[in-house]
Every structure is written in structure tokens, then in C-alpha cells.
Amino acid sequence: MRLYDSFGTNPRMVRFLLLEKEVDVPRCEIDILGAENRKSDYLKINPAGQTPALELDDGAIIAETVAICEYIEEQHPSPPLIGSNSTERAITRMWWRRAELNICHPMLYGFYFGDGLEIARDRIRCLPEAAEGLKARARDGMVWIDGLLGGPWLAGDRFTVADICLYCCMDQFSAGQPIPESCSNLKAWFDRVGARPAAEASIWKERPMGMRG
């Protein structure tokens, strides 16, 4: 097995998950800032030109962070970070989806179309005029999730991949898109996730534009 790994919120999620599960996977580092991921050799691995990707021993390639995390959880169920029964898994996936759709996606594209335009403009279709609206949408999502947080973690008493997903995204973009002042529950949650040893241990060695990926 081999993980195509790099700076960035999505590969960091996989590193975070692996650390929590104490699973070691050999890595192949991809220089995404140098756009190695957009060149033909890497496009043969992942036609989407993105990291992470997981190559299995039989040569199969799994791209998309959600699919990779689901695969790792099935192979290494303990500790459960998606869930150990149908209800737990469904609740985790619900929170994972809420986090992605309401915060991570608008936050990421708010960055790509704004402060990160120089990185993104030759890779994806960019809509700079949408940057401020997307950042506002991410702020709305943070306020919404802040109001829903009823336990230490998104899914209540269980620390899950939904926490990892949201944390990795917010940690990378927090300088340009901070947690709104009013969101005390979300701030406390963010500090709780940040205090887990895997949070620090999963950070990429370089910090482009000062970002923690």
C-alpha cells in the first residue's frame, strides 16, 4: 500500500486518521505547490490531479478522501472513527457531510477564488467575484454548527472523522477565515481537537503562505 501525500487539508485528514489508528502506510510525496499533481505522471494515478490517493497492493487506486477514510476504517476498525454500528456510522456521515457542505467547501473555494487565486487560477475554473460570498457562506456554516454542538465532539461523545475533516480545513484557513467571535462552542471544540497529539503530528513540514496543512 502507498499513500500519495502532500501539503493540504485533504491529505492531512488521512494522516490524522492514520495517526489516530496507529497505522503506518508508506508515502510518496507529491509537490502540489509545484503542480506535480497536475502533470501527466500523476494524472495517470489520479485523473482529478489531486491528493491524496491510496494505491493498494493489487494496484487499485482509491482517490477522494471520503473513500480513502472509509477504506482505512474497514481495514482497521479500531478505534472506530466512523462507527461500530449502523446508527453510529450514519450519524458520523451526517456530521461529516454537514461539515463539508456548510463549512469546508465554501471555505476552500473562498480561499481558491480569493487569497489563493495565484495558486488556483491555472488549475481550476476560478470565480474571483464569488470569493467574499463563499467566505460569508462558510461563516454562516460555522455559526450554524456552533449552535448545534451539544457535546465535546460533532457526533456527541464520539470523536470521529467528521471532527478530523472540519478541523483540518479550519486549521488551514483560519488565518484568512477565522471562527466568528460569537462561536464559543466551536472555538472550544477547535481547541479540543487541536489538543489531540495527532493534530500537531499530522501537519505538513512546510507551511506555504503560513498555512497549517
Ligand X SMILES: N[C@@H](CCC(=O)N[C@@H](CS)C(=O)NCC(=O)O)C(=O)O
Which residues make up the interface to ligand X (CB under 6 A)?
8-10, 32, 37-38, 49-51, 64-65, 123
Are the C-beta atoms of residues 68 and 23 closer than 8 Å to each other? no
> Helices in the chain by DSSP H: which ranges?
9-21, 40-45, 65-75, 86-99, 105-112, 117-120, 131-148, 161-173, 184-194, 197-201
Residue 107 or 183 with smaller CB distance to ligand X? 107
Are the C-beta atoms of residues 188 and 147 closer than 8 Å to each other? no
CB of 85 to ligand X, least distance (A): 25
Residue 9 or 146 with smaller CB distance to ligand X? 9
DSSP states along 83-128: -SSHHHHHHHHHHHHHHIIIIIHHHHHHHHTTTTHHHHTTTS---G
Residue 183 or 213 with smaller CB distance to ligand X? 213
Residue 30 or 154 with smaller CB distance to ligand X? 30
CA of residue 178 relative to chain centroid, distance: 16
Q: Are strands 2-5 and 53-55 parallel, antiparallel or unpaired?
A: antiparallel
Residue 10 or 92 with smaller CB distance to ligand X? 10
Residue 27 pairs in a beta bridge with 3
In the complex, residue closest to ligand X by CB: 8
CB of 129 to ligand X, least distance (A): 20
